[in-house]
Amino acid sequence: MATRGEYVYLNGSIVRAEEAAISPFDVGLLRGYAVFDLLQTIGGAPYMLAEHLERLRSSAETLGLTVPLSDAEIESIILEMLGRNAHAEATVRIVLTGGDSPDSMHFDPSTPTFLIVTHELFDVPASFYETGAKLLAVEHRREFPEAKTTNYLTWLRNHARIDSEGALDLLYHDRGVVSEAATASFYVVKDGRILAPGSGVLWGTVGSRVLDLAREVYEVVLCEVTMDDVLGADECFLTSSVRDVVPIVRIDDETIGDGSVGPVTRDLMARYRRHAHGG
Amino acid sequence: MATRGEYVYLNGSIVRAEEAAISPFDVGLLRGYAVFDLLQTIGGAPYMLAEHLERLRSSAETLGLTVPLSDAEIESIILEMLGRNAHAEATVRIVLTGGDSPDSMHFDPSTPTFLIVTHELFDVPASFYETGAKLLAVEHRREFPEAKTTNYLTWLRNHARIDSEGALDLLYHDRGVVSEAATASFYVVKDGRILAPGSGVLWGTVGSRVLDLAREVYEVVLCEVTMDDVLGADECFLTSSVRDVVPIVRIDDETIGDGSVGPVTRDLMARYRRHAHGG
């Protein structure tokens, strides 16, 4: 379990977590009306903060919300929190809801709830990188796929099964058309080309960086990706802001390719590691 | 705007709303992992409380949650709150979330967040009952249709349009197959028969009562209902715990039947009014 930061930011103040009181009338709670973004620190510094804040603002706009602070103000708050919370490396979760509502329907977009919390960066099992990970395929269509909303009903409902089957995440498809993993972007490698679901997905911060690196060497195709494409792929991998590039070698009980981590995935893992971590 | 009750119930205590602090790490907030139910008072007393609590327990079970109190305990709390909050008539909203989470993924189902809030019962415009209401059709499939979760992203995102078009609610359909309104059950009348979407819908507390009353006079058919059925219907109506039976005479810019409130709907409105309100 990740250790939570002792201090959180809520609507103008950095306070101890137990003093941060969300209203019981918040539409983020009563109606699930909220967006967020999540990033990690590398060497103690927020990584790709500008990209994450750009995505947060875009998610907010999709729901008719507005991030109430500038990037510089948010960065300053995060740095102050990281100093106080003293994680080795952290994840930073930035949450924006419609705020307090008089009737659990209407809310004033000019008075949102803006919350930032941090956790110790969690460890991803090394075996996922070394021998590849498993996903569980689930039929699901996100309501606003281009926005990172807080709706993770399907993911959390399946969490016990993810853990018990030793899987890393869910793979979402809508009647066979693949979109993304529940908490990551998802890609297919076939005949040396990289296939990326072209629509109905969240813009991936790390994913787009990995595709940029990939384009130096491989052909990248944005297209419709089906479950047949996945099960007939040479390799699959996912990308995530808190897990980099992870090879996927199994979907449910089906093996991808020969079941080992393929050369394109290995190459992209190494390229991204050098790019992001300089190692 | 509905007036909120001054007192709320949260995890064992009835407190003033401003003292009720939801944790910023609650999975109901961070992950939208929560269910609820909503009922109204009639003559100051909770109406169909047993049915609403049965549905709440069923919703909770769908998400692997458990309502932490007995029906009698919950009734006692609600009566105490209604006494303190002194509404003329009230809506009572009972919310259950997965509770506080160490890592925004895992939570302990034995320590949920259990919240009850009340509002003054809102007025539905009389014209909706007299001349019928309008719905806006939106393609949407709820993730766990049999559970009343707090996910109302699509509804709230469309709320400004509902208001500006003078509509009452949204009508959800999935590629043309109709399920329900965003906040109500939905039925079609054709050739004297009542067609009710037979699967993929929330069990309606008032809806099931209205169908029972209807069966005394009409044939009721649970079946697949399409948008073509709706647009070709003689009459349409919705049912809701806080609005009883409401005639629907318009979907977007399309008129249902001759655009007036039909005889079957009028009959069911009167039957349910007598049944529930004794008037």
What residue numbers bound the domain in which B238 lies? 126-277
Examine the domain organization and report whether B266 and B155 are in the same domain.
Answer: yes
Write the pLDDT tens digit of every residue in B116-144: 999 999 988 999 999 999 999 999 999 99
ipTM of the complex as predicted: 0.96
Question: Is position B2 within any domain?
Answer: no
How many folded domains does chain A comprise?
2
Q: What confidence score (pLDDT) does residue B123 get?
A: 87
Asked whether the beta carbons of residue A95 and residue B30 sit closer than 8 angstroms, the reply is yes
Task: Kindly state whether residue A207 falls inside one of the protein's structural domains.
Answer: yes
Total number of residues shown for chain A = 279
| Predicted local confidence at residue A1, as pLDDT | 58
Considering the domain boundaries, does residue A2 fall inside one? no
Tens digit of each residue's pLDDT (9 = 90 or more) over B56-89: 999 999 999 999 999 999 999 999 999 999 999 9
Question: B70 vs chain A: nearest CA distance in angstroms?
Answer: 22
Q: Does A2 touch chain B (CB under 8 A)?
A: yes
Widest distance between CA atoms in chain A: 57
Given A120, A154, A184, which residue is the final one in a domain?
A120
Whose CA is closest to B8, among A153, A15, A10, A30?
Answer: A30
- Give which of A194, A200, A272 is closest to A239, Cα–Cα: A272
Looking at the fold, whether A236 and A112 belong to one and the same domain comes out as: no
Max Cα–Cα distance, chain B, nearest Å: 57
Q: Are residues A153 and A212 in the same domain?
A: yes
Does residue B15 form part of some domain? yes
A258 has pLDDT over 80:
yes
> How confident is the model over A221-229, as a mean pLDDT?
98
Q: How many CA atoms lie within 13 A of B75 on its CB side?
A: 13
Average pLDDT value over all residues in chain B:
96
Q: Is residue A38 part of a domain?
A: yes
Q: Is the pLDDT of residue B202 over 90?
A: yes
DSSP H stretches of helix in B190-251: 205-215, 227-231
A131 and A114 fall within a common domain: no
Chain segment A3-24, per-residue pLDDT in tens: 999 999 999 999 999 999 999 9
Domain assignment present for A138: yes
Q: Are A105 and A207 members of one domain?
A: no
Residue A273 has pLDDT above 90, yes or no: yes
Under 8 Å between Cβ of B194 and B187: yes
Assess whether A73 and A95 both reside in one domain: yes
For residue A160, pLDDT beyond 90:
yes
Rounded mean pLDDT of B205-224?
A: 98
Q: Do B63 and B169 sit in the same domain of this protein?
A: no
Model confidence at A2: pLDDT above 90: no
CB-based burial of residue B208 (10 Å sphere; 0-12 exposed, 13-18 middle, 19+ buried)?
middle
For the beta carbon of residue B11, count every other beta carbon within 10 angstroms. Answer: 14
pLDDT higher than 80, residue B1: no
Instruction: Say whether both B161 and B272 belong to one domain.
Output: yes
The residue among B1, B7, B31 with the most chain A CBs within 10 A of its CB, best to mutate, is B31
Q: What is the CATH number of the domain that holds B262?
A: 3.20.10.10
Q: Which residues of A touch B31 (CB under 8 A)?
A: 150-153, 155-156
Q: Is the pLDDT reported for residue B12 higher than 70?
A: yes
What residue of A is the nearest CA neighbor of B151? A32
Residues B136 and B72 placed together within one structural domain of the fold:
no
Decide which of A80, A105, A120 is a domain's last residue.
Answer: A120
> Hey, is the C-beta of B271 within 8 angstroms of any chain A C-beta?
no
Mean pLDDT of A57-85: 98
Distance to chain B for A163, nearest Cα, Å? 11
B8, A26 Cβ separation under 8 angstroms: no
Q: Please report residues of B whose CB lies closer than 8 A to that of A37.
A: none
pLDDT attached to residue A123: 87
Backbone angles phi, psi at A140, to 5 degrees: -165, 140
Q: Are residues A215 and A157 in the same domain?
A: yes
Residue with tokens 């039909």: B262
| B35-56: pLDDT as tens digits | 999 999 999 999 999 999 999 9
> Residue B253: is its pLDDT beyond 80?
yes
Between chain A and chain B, the number of residue pairs with CB atoms below 8 A apart is 155
B119 — contact with chain A (CB < 8 Å)?
A: yes
User: CB B32 to CB A149 under 8 A?
Assistant: yes
Please indicate, yes or no, whether residues B83 and B202 belong to a single structural domain of this protein.
Answer: no
Q: In this structure, are B11 and B130 located in the same domain?
A: no
Considering only CB atoms, B117 lies closest to which of A20, A25, A105, namely A25
Which among A1, A17, A24 is the nearest to B20, CB-wise? A24
For CA atoms A264, A250, A171, A54, give the dihedral sign.
negative
Answer yes or no: is B79 within a domain.
yes
CATH value at residue A92? 3.30.470.10
Token digits of residue B153: 């992203």
Which helix (DSSP H) or strand (DSSP E) does residue A210 occupy? helix A205-215
Asked whether residue B1 is domain-assigned, the answer is no
State residue A278's pLDDT score: 86
Task: Give the number of C-alpha atoms closer than 13 A to the C-alpha of residue B269, restricted to the C-beta side.
Answer: 20
Q: Which of A83, A105, A120 is the C-terminal boundary of a domain?
A: A120
Inter-chain touch A2–B102, beta carbons under 8 Å? yes
Per-residue pLDDT at B279: 60
B33 close to B40: Cβ distance less than 8 angstroms: no
Instruction: Tell me if A64 and B20 make a contact (CB, 8 A cut-off).
Output: no
